[in-house]
Structure 1
Amino acid sequence: MASFNKFNSFVEALAEKVHNLGADQLKVALCAAANAPVATNTQLSNLTEISYTNLSSRNITTSSSAQSSGTYKLVLTDLVLSASGGSVAAFRYVVIYNDTATNDELIGWYDYGSDLTLANGESLTIDFDGTNGVLQLA
């Protein structure tokens, strides 16, 4: 899987209590190659998302949100996106954002390198790192 890229504003948003990563509902947004996220984006409205017609739920489940020996780790359950009733628009970027936060603040994104398309009945598993977590803070 592609590397995790954090949005610059995520660091400040953590310090200013915008995110409660252990309790807030995190979600993915999908963007096409022509609408790439950039590190200076701050909230979901800064992005141009694809149409989610025919796509399954984009809600992410948090497996654990804890620290050990002064290092915090956020572990997310792998997310399976499935197309049903037709194909899903092409996308390249998978963006994680906080759906609970007032402005749907952005956390980070993955670049798959080229557009992906899900035809009716196909699925994609977003494999979040279960060992190292999506992110660590030390």
Structure 2
Amino acid sequence: MVTFNKFRHFVLGMINGEHHLAAAGDVVKVYLTNNAPDTENDTNKADLVGITEKNGYVATDIQNDVSEALGVASMSGVDVEWTVDADEDGNGVGPFRYAVIYNDTHASDALIGWWDYGSSITLPNVGEKFKVDFGTTVITLE
């Protein structure tokens, strides 16, 4: 399983009340990019351009929710899987290396965090799949 990395600005945004990550709050989406995230300087989705949305791939709502126990808050999300459903341009989906989550409700689509898959991935054929598996918890805040 790949390691989650949070953007520095996300922490400040949490302190400033910019994020409401419970199910009744903000919509969190995941998207794919082949550009390396800059943890210190990337703050908004526009700072980290994603791959072209085509052939069955679009940024997708993770259906986030938050739970709390003994002062520890955890955000969960529903795993997202994309399937190449067409190959109109002969390129499938990709290449991409990073999966990034962002707050789609935030006025500037504030970045939250990302996962590095280690090398670029391309899904060249119709029917190929890629899944972002969030496990039981996407983020834990103590």
The TM-score normalised by the length of structure 2 is: 0.89
Structure-1 residue corresponding to 2:83: 82
Q: Which moved more, 1:93-102 or 1:45-54?
A: 45-54
Percent pairwise identity = 38
Residue 98 of structure 1 aligns with an amino acid whose one-letter code is N
Preserved CA contact (<8 Å) 1:75 1:134: yes
Aligned to 2:62: 60
CA contact (8 A) 1:52 1:89 kept: no
CA RMSD of aligned residues (A): 1.2
1:134 corresponding residue in structure 2:
138
SS at match of 1:10: helix
Within the candidate set 94, 119, 127, 1:121 is matched to: 127
How many angstroms apart in 2 are the aligned matches of 1:95 and 1:6?
10
Per-residue Cα deviation, 1:17-48 (whole angstroms, up to 9, x for no partner): 1111112111112111xx21110210001012
SS in 2 for 1:114: strand
Unaligned runs of 5+ in 2: none
Deviation per CA, 1:29-70, whole angstroms, max 9, x where unpaired?
Answer: 2111xx2111021000101211111134422112x3011110
Distance 1:97 1:55 in 2: 20
Give the gaps of 5 or more residues in structure 1: none
Give the number of aligned pairs: 133
Residue type matched to 1:108 in 2? G
- Residue 109 of structure 2 aligns with which residue? 104
Residue 39 of structure 1 is matched in structure 2 by: 39
Counterpart CA distance in 1 for 2:131 and 2:94 is 16
CA offsets 1:74-107 (integer angstroms, 9 cap, x no match): 1111111121112112100000001010000000
**Post-superposition shift, 1:116?**
1.0
| Stretches of 4+ aligned residues off by more than 4 angstroms | none
